[in-house]
């Protein structure tokens, strides 16, 4: 084709690519950090991520690790997370499932907050008519 670009133009394109690459890497690092924090919060374990869509969790516990190495399939076993887990147990959880678990937890907490608000309103309504001596 015989296309020739000036050195200044080629340098500008290279700098633009490098800047974009650095910005994308920073975004991926922020996402990874947030996913690790979310997994540790939801699953109460030490979390590491693989290169794909899976995170690996070594469950924490009061007594520390006991050497068990049960690995789950990441589907439904992750729901029992900290309650039914043995310290040191190894689990795998899909990143998409991790986000679903966070959403489920937030919805459950929202329902609990609403119930507590109703209970408080009931106590306030019942407490106003009572004579405290």
pLDDT tens digits along 55-98: 788 888 654 334 333 334 444 444 444 456 788 888 888 888 88
Domain count, the chain: 1
Helices 7-43 and 95-128 cross at an angle (nearest 10°) of 50
Domain span at residue 46? 7-127
| pLDDT at res. 66 | 40
| pLDDT at res. 75 | 46
| pLDDT at res. 129 | 54
Domain presence at residue 1: no
Convert the pLDDT of each residue in 35-56 to its tens digit. 888 888 888 888 887 767 777 8
Q: Using alpha carbons, list the distances in angstroms from residue 85 to 35, 65, 97.
A: 21, 11, 18
| pLDDT at res. 104 | 95
Q: Which H or E element spans position 128?
A: helix 95-128
Q: How far apart are CA 19 and CA 37, in angstroms?
A: 27
Domain presence at residue 2: no
């Amino acid at each position: 084709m015989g296309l020739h670009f000036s050195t200044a133009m080629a340098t500008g394109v290279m700098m633009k690519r490098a800047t974009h690459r650095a910005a994308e890497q920073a975004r991926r690092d922020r996402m990874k950090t947030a996913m690790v924090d979310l997994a540790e919060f939801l699953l109460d374990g030490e979390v590491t991520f693989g290169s794909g869509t899976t995170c690996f969790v070594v469950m924490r516990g009061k007594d520390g690790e006991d050497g068990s190495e049960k690995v789950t399939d990441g589907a439904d076993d992750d729901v029992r997370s900290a309650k039914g887990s043995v310290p040191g147990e190894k689990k795998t959880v899909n990143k998409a499932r991790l986000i679903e678990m966070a959403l489920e937890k937030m919805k459950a907490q929202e329902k609990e907050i609403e119930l507590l608000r109703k209970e408080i309103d009931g106590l306030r309504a019942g407490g106003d008519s009572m004579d405290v001596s």
